Amino acid sequence: MSKLRSVIRHEYATVVKQKGFWVYMIAMPVIFLLIFLLIGLASRSDNTSIEKVTNDLKDVAVIDASGLVSEELVRSSGQVPFAASEYDSLRKEVESGDRKGLIYYPADLLKTAQYDVYVSGVDFIFSTSVTEVGKALLQGSLYAPIGSNEKILLAQNGAEAVTTTYANGTTSVGFTRFIVPGAITALFVIILMFSIGYILTSISDEKENRSMEMALTYLSPRTLIIGKLVAVVLITLTQLLFFAALAAITLLIALTTDFIQLPANFDITALPVDLTSVLFALGFLIVGFILFAACMALIAVLFPAKQALNFSSFFYILPFVPSWFIWTVLTDPSNPVVQFITYFPITAPTTSLVRNTVGNISVGEATLSLSIMAATAFIVLWLVVKVFPKGALEFQNPLSLRAIFSKK
């Protein structure tokens, strides 16, 4: 037991004491944070730009030769209406830069469905804004006969649908019920991307620098492989704690500043939790993690370092196969392809997690998928322990099938 503890401590410390571990882990969130900051700064800059554009729009003249645009609306929008006779002089003012812009609705607007916009300068934002103002003035004027402002707005923008869904005879909580199992699915993807590879690196490194022979002189293969697996779990937990802390900081920033916008009426304490769905999600997460860690260990044992690294890429690609058929996975769970990837061990964790998130996997299907994953993980782990002493000392070539299944 004390040897196992030493192996775990050694494996854990070897990884977390590396600068690269923290650089890699910090770099990704920092990049996202920088993007958020840039978006925040850009939006502030946008606000300043909008103020300037609003001021400049007051210097835009409007001429309506069509008789379709409401003069009252033009004034209330902050623009100044002019008579059609002033068209030439106003256009020259814009041309010389003495006026910011001119919107001209021609007499034949009904026939041509075209109006003219003249803008001073090459400011794309301002130019677009003048065009939009022209469009809004025309639309607003045409909608005006409808009646009240509320009706006009409704006609222009439409109305939002409030959807109530029913499940098992009662009102369901709708989209928010996806959040917790969805977060667990995201967690699995993070673990897959950040953590699973450590066990491959750990074994391949020991083979590459020949420390494996030393390790196996003083340790049983079982102690060494269990120590490595437990260390990977601890490394993963360290990463998750780190990301959880970052998520908490992000949430705090979102709640206390206007830098990050949360959905309206978002209340983290009121998130609905479907116990069955959450338990299955956790099951898929844990068993999926063990399965992939065991697969990585097996690859590292069977192949020399470089080949192991190449071969391991399959285990980063295959779990994302469900995303290729995502619409079918979401809408047609009985489809044979969806059924296959639900039960095929390497695609099962992600497919089942996604289906569990959207609620289209039955308890029976989830149990079967979880059982297949667990059985495969057990077989792979058993195989790892069996071939570990042979593969661990094979530094140059992949372990042959004959060697794998030979008695010793």
Partner 1 sequence: MKPAVNVKDFSLTLGNKEIVHKLNFKVQPGEVFAFLGANGSGKTSTIRSLLGLYEATSGQVHINGRQYTAKDAHTLGYLPEERGLYTRVSAIDNLIYFGEMKGMTRAEARLAGMEFLEEVGLADKANLKLKKLSGGQQQKVQLGVAVMGNPSVLILDEPTKGLDPVNRKLLLDIVEQHREQGAAVIYITHLMEEVERLADRILIIKDGKSEAYGTVKEVKKKFNATSIEDVFVSIYKETHDVKGEK
Residue (215 or 246) nearer to partner 1, CB: 215
Helix (H) or strand (E) holding 1: none
Rounded CA-CA distance 322/141 in Å is 51
Residue (177 or 207) nearer to partner 1, CB: 207
- Residue 201 token pair: 């690196």
Cβ contacts of 66 within 8 Å, gap of 6 or more? 105, 106, 107, 108, 109, 110
Per CB under 8 A, the segment of 12-20, 46-54, 366-374, 376-384 that binds partner 1 is 12-20
Q: Are 276 and 180 in contact (CB under 8 A)?
A: no
Contact flag: residue 323 with partner 1 (CB under 8 A): no
The beta-carbon contacts of 307-312 under 8 Å, at least 24 apart in sequence, are 307/398, 308/200, 308/203, 308/204, 309/200, 309/204, 312/197, 312/200
Contacting partner 1 within 201-240 (CB under 8 A): 205-206, 209-220, 223
Contact flag: residue 6 with partner 1 (CB under 8 A): yes
Contacting partner 1 within 241-270 (CB under 8 A): none
Contact flag: residue 408 with partner 1 (CB under 8 A): yes
Contact flag: residue 397 with partner 1 (CB under 8 A): no
Q: Which residue has the tokens 């999926």?
A: 288
Fill in the amino acid letter for 294.
Answer: A
**Nearest of 168, 165, 144 to residue 156 by alpha carbon:** 144
Residue (368 or 399) nearer to partner 1, CB: 399
Residue (29 or 389) nearer to partner 1, CB: 389
Nearest approach in angstroms of CB 201 to partner 1 is 10
Contact flag: residue 19 with partner 1 (CB under 8 A): no
Contacting partner 1 within 147-206 (CB under 8 A): 205-206
Nearest approach in angstroms of CB 23 to partner 1 is 15
Residue (48 or 217) nearer to partner 1, CB: 217
Residue (12 or 87) nearer to partner 1, CB: 12
Alpha helices per DSSP H over 303-362: 305-312, 314-317, 321-324, 326-331, 336-343, 348-358
Per CB under 8 A, the segment of 9-17, 23-31, 237-245, 295-303 that binds partner 1 is 9-17
Cβ contacts of 60 within 8 Å, gap of 6 or more? 79, 99, 100, 101, 102, 103, 130, 133
Alpha helices per DSSP H over 118-194: 124-143, 149-157, 179-194
Fill in the amino acid letter for 44.
Answer: R
Residue (183 or 215) nearer to partner 1, CB: 215
Contact flag: residue 49 with partner 1 (CB under 8 A): no
Binding positions for partner 1, rule: CB under 8 A: 2-3, 6, 10, 13-14, 18, 205-206, 209-220, 223, 389, 393, 395, 402-403, 408
